[in-house]
A and B are shown apart, each in its own frame.
Chain A
Amino acid sequence: MKQRKGLSWLWFALGMVYFFLPLAATFLFSLRGKRDVLSFVAYKNVFVDPIFLRTFSFSLEMAILTVVAGLALIVPTAIWIHLKVPKAKPVIEIFTLLPFVIPPIILAFGLIRTYSRPPLALVSSPALLVAGYVIVAFPYIYRSVDAGLRAMDLRGLSEAAQSLGAGWIHLLFLVVLPNLRAALLSATFLTLAIVIGELTLANLLAWPAFGPYMALMGRNRAYEPAALAVMSFGLTWGAIGLIQALTRSGRDKSAGLGTGAR
């Protein structure tokens, strides 16, 4: 028993080394911007670069639009499928794999070919980019929402709400969405992370986005890309921490209210 436990700790430690060693190395490397001293000069260089801010805020904007459009499209669809056509679930699951199977470059060329001539000349509109991002983010959004719906007895709750007089709007806003909070948050952060770093679509549709900027930096600089990598790690972890904190605080609040009245 004891031996077993020691062994699992060993595996855990190995895993941590495998995971953290490159990260630590990258971090150390990113601090070498100045000869012979450790400094944050590479980070400073990143932040003072006006293109960094411009591309980052453009991508953030696109990411937010993608989140809004993606959730508006996918959440009601997922609810509808769960309630009305549960048999279609496996089919949708196959659809969610398509963005992984089909390389984004094919998606990009498809979009360009279809939307570059009238009556649908949208190539120069950011709407097309967002539409493409919604496709890329679709698996993540759908699977988060699907997991959230599976965890909540959607059918039972919706029937209870309906018998109490609730229509679809009430059902959605008073019952389903509040109980989907954790799922929606994780869908949101995943989408943000994916879209902000996305390279292919932005490149081929020729938008000044953050993904192409990072790729460019990677080719031309030494320390700044490492600094960017460390920062994006930090951002992702921050987002995960935020999801945890927000969902936990929701639970604590409810628990607190209950004990208060006891």
Chain B
Amino acid sequence: MRARRVGLGFEGGPTRRALPAMMASIVLLTGLAVAALAGADAAIARWQYDLRARLAVEVGAPSAEGADTVVAAALDVLRGSPGVVAAREIAGAEVRALLEPWLGEASEIASLPLPRLIDVELDPGGADAAVLAARLQERVPGARLDDHGRWLDALSRLALAARLLAGGALTLTAIAAVLVIVLTTHAGLAARRDTIEILRLLGAPDRLVARLFQRQILVMSAIGAAGGFALAVAVLLVLYDYLAPLAATYGLPAALPRSMWLALPAVPILAAAAAALACRVTVRRLLGRMP
């Protein structure tokens, strides 16, 4: 109450314009870095899930009758294994349809000796593809399980790299953000050193002086942070609009990841809090030098 009526501070000063603008750009950039990290994470997690949740078992057999027995045995083993949700044979027509884009006209494919395929749906949490492969190998020779091992390896490396990259970018943005916030606040207050000293000489206690400036810094940075946040959300929505048609093709998540929506609002809040904290520390330090 008291602080507001004292009616002091950054009126007309450069800080009044610089701080909100600076906060807005920092929140925008950090917000986008957060979104990139969350988005990359979600896309990769989705790909990994898809790969882990579906396996194919290929049965190559010399004769059609032999193949029937092997397929039946393999289905038996698969259905009796832990973590397997469903296993079914893919009909010949389906296999042809799958191969068609790669091999050409259906009439020609018809004459090829096609492998028999079993589609296995797994519970990604409860199944171990390697164990399943070994078990199949042992009980049903002639059935080969493709566990996407190489894909998953590559994807894990990609995931790690993407996380490091986005995490690194986010860390750097955050460090830059904090530095800029601290320096802008500091500069704004240093320019007001005289005001602080006069308030002190008129008998204002430290906490009143600190509160006075902290409130203003908080209001200014909150305005900037809110603007930056709105801008970040707008950019993300537009970007998502562009990406949506491609999502299905590339197995991207169908919605902006929840982790992002949780992390994004934290950015402006943390940024404004950092400004207020920097203000508090700076004012206290300036006051500390006055007897």
A and B associate: no
Residues of B within 8 A of A (CB): none
Residues of A within 8 A of B (CB): none
